[in-house]
Amino acid sequence: EPEVTQTPSHQVTQMGQEVILRCVPISNHLYFYWYRQILGQKVEFLVSFYNNEISEKSEIFDDQFSVERPDGSNFTLKIRSTKLEDSAMYFCASSGQGNSGNTIYFGEGSWLTVV
Amino acid sequence: SQQGEEDPQALSIQEGENATMNCSYKTSINNLQWYRQNSGRGLVHLILIRSNEREKHSGRLRVTLDTSKKSSSLLITASRAADTASYFCATVSYSGAGSYQLTFGKGTKLSVIP
């Protein structure tokens, strides 16, 4: 079964550093997402991306964050100047035709620990 | 309560018993999806039920949706120790400008005792 893959699986970074989390969505999918889950809390929406641009973003997704699809297969989340509270599991997801009826597939996540 | 609230927050049952988890939400939805998450792992999609559907089955899973009550339930029959995980409901709503959003609840932590 096709799957969303994410790298790295775990990253430890110092406060103030920049982090790039990488995702390879399912190949024929058109919609891409980033979600995050702070330890013990609910999964929160960060951003959705379609047709090479952000289609929606949450309040969490401020100027510290950016997303990019640098080529035909990768989808990245960049976090500039990381803060302690950015420590969380970051999930990439993709779907075929938006959320209207199609399943959204999630990757295994990237654990980010900011120290 | 927030969109996609599950109850109970934690459920402990014996292997072989059925497990029922409920989810309530507030706004209108396009569909509702249930996910499973093993500790520290990714979200695994279990089942999707559309707003015009009332019940759906997949293997040992049975999902119901009552849009009048804005609630859904996930039933796992004949539970196994391997079913131990957190289960999340996620509502999908149209958020404007051709965009849909998936909103998760806090989840139910299921423990199946062998």
Contact in structure between B82 and B76 (CB atoms under 8 Å):
no
Question: Quick one: pLDDT at residue B78?
Answer: 97
pLDDT digits (tens, 9 = 90+) for B17-50: 999 999 999 888 888 999 999 988 889 999 999 9
Name the more confident of B96 and B104.
B104
Structure-token pair, residue A68: 């990019």
**Which residue ranges in chain A fall short of pLDDT 70?**
1, 97-102
Confidence of residue B92 (pLDDT cuts 50, 70, 90): confident
Q: Which residue of B has its CA nearest to A103?
A: B48
Minimal CA separation from A11 to chain B, in Å: 14
Question: Quick one: pLDDT at residue B14?
Answer: 97
Instruction: Count CB pairs under 8 A between chains A and B.
Output: 69
The amino acid present at A93, given as its one-letter code, is A
Interface test with A, best of B43, B47, B58 (most A CBs within 10 A): B43
Q: Would you call B101 an interface residue with chain A, using a CB distance cutoff of 8 Å?
A: yes
CA atoms of A66 and B64, how far apart (whole Å)? 38
The count of residues in chain A is 115
H, E, C per residue of A1-34: CCCCEEECCEEEECCCCCEEEEEECCCCCCEEEE
Does B101 sit within 8 Å of A48, measured CB to CB?
yes
Point out the least confidently predicted range of A43-52, B10-19, B71-80: A43-52
pLDDT for B53 beyond 70: yes
Q: Would you call B108 an interface residue with chain A, using a CB distance cutoff of 8 Å?
A: no
Exposure class string for B12-30: b at 16+ Cβ within 10 A, else e = ebeeeeebebbbbbeeebb
Structure-token pair, residue B105: 């609840």
Q: Which residue of A has its CA nearest to B41?
A: A108
Q: Give residue A40's region: left, alpha or beta (phi > 0; psi -120 to 50).
A: left
Confidence of residue B97 (pLDDT cuts 50, 70, 90): low
H, E, C per residue of B20-57: EEEEECCCCCCEEEEEEECCCCCEEEEEEEECCCCEEE
Mean pLDDT, rounded, for B67-93:
94
* Of the candidates B63, B31, B25, the residue with the CA atom closest to the CA atom of residue B46: B63
Q: Give me the residue from A50, A106, A111 closest to B43, CB to CB.
A: A106
